Structure 1
Amino acid sequence: MTSHQFFSMDNASSSYKLPQNYDVLINFIGEDINRKFVSHLNSALSTVGLTTFLLHPNAVKSSHIQQPILGQCWIAIVVFTQTYSQSAWCLNQLQQIIKWHQTYRLKVLPVYYEIQPSDVRLQKGDFGKALKATAQQTFSGEELKHGMFMWSHALTKAAEFFGWDESSYRNDAELVEQIVKALLNFQLSYKRKILFEL
């Protein structure tokens, strides 16, 4: 059973009108990164015919439709920034994305924007300090250790995947171009896989 088969429109609440499916989910935090990078990436993906869903706190009014949306996507792009670990919302969504990868093979691609990949992988520096502070604000008592472990695990797993480091490119345009090329290649492989399963 593929993720697309698992969550059809019949599974979603009838009070929400969702497209039949999405290709790419983009997980990020912050209006600055939305204006500087995510909007350009979203536009470029749309230009080549890939439908996107921007998964951030202001994207939807209710969290319970996000799991069906995950089931409609075949790839998730996680944009890590210095402020990412300040958001319990983003960290919780990353847990769902990693779980979806492990269960239904959702492809996960990280982008490191103005942050070192090792800071995310090892949760060190200001990124790691913010993660601990967010956990302390979000969890209490015995939940703190477990919640911190789950977030740390999700971040470490995400950082193990192939991704892009913004500092390796001359500008955002070049970075976006490389991401779009990679996704088009992944799309061909994905379609071949679906045809084979059929």
Structure 2
Amino acid sequence: MLSMASSSSLSCNSKYDVFLSFRGEDVRKGFLSHVRKGLESEGIIAFVDDNMERGESVGPLLVGAIKQSRVAIVLLSSNYTSSSWCLDELVEIMKCRDEYKQPVLPIFYKVDPSDVRKQKGDFGKVFDETCARKTEEVKEAWRKALEDVAGIAGYDFSN
């Protein structure tokens, strides 16, 4: 991870080394603090949207932070898909991966990567509930982003 953050092939206009995407209720009280502490101890500047107000969609400030980060880390957890905010964030992250070759590192925290890829099991049930009143276009963008991120070699902390 550190070599990705310091890679000279990435944009030198980056404001952040890492953009962290996560579902707070799953990781904030334990795992996230360890991740943040580890990044900070290495001098890695991370954007974390702790204090942003939630709106209907991912706003320009957040899209800008994603684009201005050298690497995106997606902490996929059991309730990640309970948040349309997280799913919209993931869509933007995957766009940056496709358009700007921004590295994305998925971390599967107590969730099976296969369940993420196929939106099945408890992960899939939560996803279906979030999709209930969304358009087919939105649901398809979310599905594709989940399939794509689950196809990237990452870290599995399921156990």
TMscore range, shorter length: 0.7 to 0.9
1:113-153 per-position Cα deviation (integer Å, ceiling 9, x unaligned): 1111111011101111211211113x2xxxx2221111000
Q: Hey, what does 1:37 align to over in structure 2? A: 31
Change over 3 Å in CA distance of 1:114–1:43 after alignment to 2:
same
Q: Which moved more, 1:127-136 or 1:79-88?
A: 127-136
Give the counterpart of 1:109 among 77, 86, 105: 105
Shift >3 Å, 4+ stretches: 2-5
1:130 paired residue number: 126
What is the aligned counterpart of 2:70 among 74, 79, 97?
74
* 3-state SS in 2 of match to 1:60: coil
The structure with the largest helix share of the pair is: 1
Select the structure of larger CA radius of gyration: 1
In the TM superposition, residue 68 of structure 1 has moved relative to its aligned partner by: 1.6
* TM-score normalised per structure 2: 0.84
Give the structure-1-normalised TM-score: 0.69
Greater shift, 29-38 or 155-164, is seen at 29-38
Q: How many residues align?
A: 147
CA distance in 1, matches of 2:158, 2:146: 20
Q: Which runs of 5+ in 1 are unaligned?
A: 9-19, 169-198
Give 1 or 2: higher strand fraction.
2
Q: 1:146 aligns with which of 127, 137, 140?
A: 137
CA distance in 2, matches of 1:28, 1:112: 11
Q: In 1, distance between residues paired with 2:66 and 2:90? A: 11
The sequence identity of aligned pairs, in percent, is 34
Q: Look up the match of 1:60.
A: 52
Give CA deviations for 1:155-197 in whole Å, capped at 9, x if unaligned. 00001111001136xxxxxxxxxxxxxxxxxxxxxxxxxxxxx
Match of 1:166 in 2: 157
1:154 to partner: Cα distance: 0.3
Counterpart secondary structure, 1:95: helix
Matched, 1:24 2:18: yes
